[in-house]
Structure 1
């Protein structure tokens, strides 16, 4: 067992190295192959241990940034919970290993596990899906065709086939042929990349106002954060008036541009009006808005220079134990970690319609929303022409979380076929093309305003059209594979335990027949063993 555990450990660390800050995506199929190899040939129960070692090695290192930015307790709890999914996948892979064409079923199980942990428990944690590491690889153009779940399946299939080539000595040729077919998809898609026709243009200004003090605490001086956004917007308006900058159609502010309710706090309300009126165009303001004594809402608010606050998008996926406490009444009285810091819970939004801003239909996402397919898919299917991301990565500014999230954002641009504008208080702020390329990027921890001309689109990629269906189909494939394998195993077990058919005695003399020992009787075999 020790060699298996070492293989699982190395493979889990290899999967971590595929993501930022190392960004070595070539390791993806090898990491999956190592996982499969570590549980190969084991009974279901025994496969739990190498699966757990893999999950611990991967997730505790993949989100290491949480330890210093959020807290060791949150890092330990979340890492352990996510590692458990890889542990539970071990028995599933061990069972599916007995099925014909097992790499297919194994890859479906891997992708299904990623989809399940991305939405459960509570709102799940999508960080670490293998698709999120492919942004600068030749396989990234597959995203508009198959989506995140589909591409995760293909990466896992390549890894499973690689394991087949190594483990199945008698059937290596089949594994090699399967691997060749999967790899062959890449040049095919590169020759015919998905193209979404542009139906218009717009100019967007993304504001990065910077965060005072240590830079990693948005509440250190939250009023100055708002002031920085206003001053950067006023400065932009002055440069536009002097002809030094093109006039934007709308301005994008980041999440936590104001940490207090702008409808209840007079000075904040006046500051926002100052910036919006100076811009002379709508500003998409991200604000924390009260929702009663025990709840708040994290909203992107379209603030018009004439009519004021209008349409709003409310964050759909607040972070459990980061922005709300699940089953808060159960933990009432506990006094540790985030429970002492979160006095009020964030309410989940339900909006699926794009925001109308300056005549443009915009799909908005707030921070971790970008890691979930449903947020952008729902809005793009309903006519969104452009994507905006309002994020507050200040608490992660000294970690590699900001790079991981920006990579996910670039993948969403490819998947949806849309330009994406990202605004963050102090990084990473940027403008991304529909092919995932970074058109403009602000230096972290600076006050910057990016003004760029972007294309608008209304066409839909196959991935957006399919929505959640690839994940559902893969889950169904996994279930079919398990049922097929377990049924075949049960049949083979019944065949092994069935009694041998009785044979006629060589004579009708009962006494003689009784004197002839039965060679198929285990008791007889035991007696013969005892005889000298």
Structure 2
């Protein structure tokens, strides 16, 4: 029964991820998972956590099958899913370990988030794709992002879930003894109050913050264009279609320029193209993009692969103007086994990029803030959006608008693009900025500072979005203090583990019943 419940909880957590809008399922999934761990030993808790993690991560990462399945089979998908599930196993151990502490739901939520953040950092730079916060692109908990970032949103989900589980665990267990019925009723009510409050506080706080999400312009507005030139749905064969990606997107940009020159479309202030459109050497020459920028009378921000003077390879965004290449941003978080390849001698069994790139790409650690016409554009590339630091640093460095060039054409008509859009929506709320998502084959979108989607494209279509967006300069509490919130949650989790260890060594305290 517990194994079945763990599978059900993991499946429910997956089912609330985009493109579905069932955000309220996430706390319920955590509640069931917490219930599965109730009064379990550590070895059993690890097993239940792994089962929960597999039931969540394998369907969530189904797009890996679209990408690698035909050539490499299910092994990369199963391998990544299992590694991620091991961290859920650690979460299960930690939650069971602290379950006998007073106010246990608080500590269990902190331990779950600590394991999640550990997964986001290790191994090989981590893989934060399955974070709880990314299930909350809709609903009452999303506004928490403006206060404490993705970590606070995830903590709110977990706390609501563990609070519900604590409430249910206490309902069928009235105390017996010498107290009067009235005293027993009062005692049960007092004990139920704590988990009930813990379950409700995140939802109430999120609802209270919703009216504070400001979408107004502070430093003016900008007319923006997001160009989706489309890509063939050929999976791994896209490795050999660089020229087609370039031609498709330059053609789409030229069509936009023709529409502007004919007066059919208002002239944009900045144009954003996706990741992996261009390919440039150290001299940074691209006459076609220079000509497009000249015709548009606006900078064109384009993602692509670039080599430096020493042959080093990087994934970067370049601002093109009529006079040539301008400011650049280099991707900070490289995708393991794709842009950086650990264990290269054996990685060829699971990664096609070993043959494509003879060396790892070089990351940067500078925030991406590109002066683009009248706009200070904060940029992250594709996988960057899953990490907290990239857009936080850009907002802190003065970005007034965000852009996310990405290439999702590898993954076919899977849910991957919708999952990434949800991350972009959370980042918009987190820092109070509009977000432009420019994808080669979709989903491209214009996201408002409150996380709402003003415009979006379909998958595998050629389409250009033009819109007027607010430029904003103020910083949210999450921009200023979000990193401290993350460390605070980790500190709570580690403190709970240490406290529980200390209590188990005290005579007669090993069987305490949790409030």
Pairwise same-fold verdict (TM > 0.5) = yes
Query: How far did residue 340 of structure 1 move?
Result: 4.1
Cα distance change of structure 1 residues 80 and 247 upon mapping to structure 2, 3 Å threshold:
same
Q: Counterpart in 2 of 1:528?
A: none
2:231 counterpart (211, 235, 238): 211
Whole-Å separation in 2 of the counterparts to 1:212 and 1:195: 36
Superposed CA deviations along residues 349-408 of structure 1, whole A, max 9, x for unmatched, are 221251111142111011111111100000101111010110001112311101111111
CA distance in 2 between counterparts of 1:400 and 1:495 reads: 46
- Residue in 2 aligned with 1:283? 300
| TM-superposed deviation, 1:192 | 4.1
Q: Helix, strand or coil for the counterpart of 2:78?
A: helix
Distance 1:361 1:193, change over 3 A: closer
Counterparts in 2 of 1:398 and 1:104: CA distance versus 1, 3 Å: same
Please state if 1:229 is matched with 2:244.
no
Partner of 1:261: 280
Distance 1:231 1:340, change over 3 A: closer
Give SS of 2:403's match: strand
User: Following the alignment from structure 2 to structure 1, what is the Cα–Cα distance between the partners of residues 75 and 339?
Assistant: 15
Residue of 426, 435, 444 corresponding to 1:429: 444
CA contact (8 A) 1:215 1:426 kept: no
Q: Does 1:165 align with 2:167?
A: yes
Q: Distance in 1 between matches of 2:423 and 2:349?
A: 35
Q: How does 1:147-162 map to 2 (within 5 A)?
A: 147-162=149-164
The gaps in structure 2 that reach 5 residues or longer are: 175-190
Q: TM-score, normalised by structure 2?
A: 0.89
Distance between the aligned counterparts of 2:202 and 2:452, measured in 1?
Answer: 25
Alignment partners' CA distance in 2, 1:251 and 1:351: 22
Asked whether the equivalents of residues 66 and 412 of structure 2 are also in contact (C-alpha less than 8 Å), the reply is no
Shift in alpha-carbon separation, 1:215–1:427, aligned structure 2, 3 A: farther
Give the whole-Å Cα distance in 1 for the aligned partners of 2:332 and 2:284.
24
**Residue from 385, 394, 407 that aligns with 1:370:** 385
Q: Which has the higher contact order (CA 8 A, sep 6+)?
A: 2
Aligned residue in 2 for 1:139: 141
Quick one: structure 1 residues 184 and 247, their matched pair in 2 at CA, closer, same or farther if it must change by over 3 Å?
same
1:178 aligns with 2:194: no
Cα displacement (A) at 1:138: 2.2
Q: CA RMSD in A?
A: 2.3
Q: 1:139 Cα deviation (Å)?
A: 2.1
Does the 8 Å contact 1:217/1:394 carry over to 2?
Answer: no
Distance of 1:344 and 1:335 partners within structure 2: 17
Which residue does 1:357 correspond to in 2? 372
Match for residue 34 of structure 1?
Answer: 32
1:485 aligns with 2:500: yes
Larger Rg: 1
* Partner residue in 1 for 2:336: 320
Residue number in structure 2 paired with 1:445: 460
Give the drift of 1:174: 3.2
TM-score for both structures, normalised by structure 1: 0.86
| 1:84 and 2:101 correspond | no
Aligned pairs for 1:21-60 (under 5 A) are 21-60=19-58
Q: Is the alpha carbon distance of 1:336 and 1:88 closer, same or farther for their aligned partners in structure 2, counting shifts above 3 Å?
A: closer
Change (3 A) 1:252 1:161: same
Assess, with a 3 A threshold, how the Cα gap between structure 1 residues 379 and 193 changes in structure 2: closer, same or farther.
closer
Checking the alignment, whether the CA contact within 8 Å between 1:391 and 1:422 is kept in structure 2 is yes
Instruction: Tell me the distance in 1 between the aligned counterparts of 2:507 and 2:359.
Output: 57
Equivalent in 255, 265, 271 of residue 245 of structure 1: 265
**Runs of 5+ unmatched residues, structure 1:** 497-532
Could you say if the C-alpha distance between residues 246 and 194 of structure 1 is closer, same or farther in structure 2, counting changes exceeding 3 Å?
closer
What CA distance in whole angstroms lies between the structure 1 residues aligned with 2:29 and 2:349? 40
Please point out which of 296, 303, 326 is paired with 1:310: 326
Distance 2:510 2:290 in 1: 79
CA distance in 2, matches of 1:207, 1:495: 62
Alpha carbons of 1:212 and 1:57: their partners in 2 closer, same or farther (altered >3 Å)?
closer
